[in-house]
Amino acid sequence: QASKAGFEISAEKDLAACYQNLDRATEAKESLGQRDEVVVIIEAEGKRTTLKLDRKLLREHTKELDKRFIDCCKKVIEELVARNKKPDRIISVGGSCRLFHVSEMIQGIFGIEPSHDTDPDLVVAKGATIWAEKCFGSEDKPIYLNGKIRKPISCYLG
């Protein structure tokens, strides 16, 4: 769209504009959770244009990521079946779980709607903390989590 308007978005030429456009694209992606269509203003080289985005276009551009996600979920199902287990709760985490169609995919695969009572970013941060302690810490060194000091092993168990 920018090239049609006669300009190029380039991190080498204008990193600030590139980040500004990235922030606007992120806002647009998140807005598609509430709306079918959004308009984004793109700026670079002192010029601006608008770009119309809709859910269909977003789905087309996330098709490959969605396939990887579905494949990963199917592996989890296979593991559960092999252990004769069934999930009673699904917690989706990370930025992509906010996309309008991810909950639908999860429900289609697992047969239950994912929980929405957990902050997905906080879960990722907690997981990163636990993983860092596992990789770089020692079992006798306590870590601070959820306002409590815990031994690393207790973090894995909740």
pTM of the model: 0.66
- What pLDDT, in 10s, does the model give residues 119-141? 888 888 888 888 887 777 666 66
Structure tokens at 117: 């009572």
| 47-54/37-44 β-pairing | antiparallel
- What is the mean predicted confidence (pLDDT) over 38-61? 90
- What pLDDT, in 10s, does the model give residues 14-25? 899 899 999 999
- What pLDDT, in 10s, does the model give residues 53-73? 999 999 999 999 999 999 999
148 pLDDT more than 80: no
Per cent of the chain over pLDDT 90 is 39
d(CA 99, CA 6): 31
Coil/strand/helix, residue 7: coil
d(CA 73, CA 7): 41
Structure tokens at 61: 């551009």
Q: Are 58 and 65 in contact (CB under 8 A)?
A: no
